[in-house]
Amino acid sequence: QVQLVESGGGLVQPGGSLRLSCAASGRAFTGLTMAWFRQPPGKDREFVAGLKRNMGTPSYAASSKGRFAITRDNAKSTLYLQMNSLKPEDTAVYYCAASPRGLITSSLARDQEYEYWGQGTQVTVSS
């Protein structure tokens, strides 16, 4: 079993920045493919960014590319999402997800590929 705990959400003004963290435990972090998803109010969950377990080139949704950065610190078993130039449409509950399998790039955005999920952290972008 893998436990994921997100933190770092909150209220931020448009144009501001936030950094989300996801602390993982229960399994070797280096063996996990990691990703961030979000669920805006009244909408389905959507992919934000993903990172393979060998790191490599991150994968981003079109809406987050150029503004968000996904990174991982294997020594701390922690996944991060740096979010810059935030917009009201980024308002959502953000979830960390993990898979013990080595996913290919085209599978990173598919939520059904991930076995483990955190409880989510709320991000609200509003003036």
- State the DSSP string of 50-93: EEETTEEEEEE-TTTTTTEEEEEETTTTEEEEEE-S--GGG-EE
pLDDT tens per residue, range 28-82: 999 999 999 999 999 999 999 999 987 778 999 999 999 999 999 999 999 999 9
pLDDT tens per residue, range 88-106: 999 999 999 999 988 888 8
Angle at 52 between CA 109 and CA 57, to 5 degrees: 90
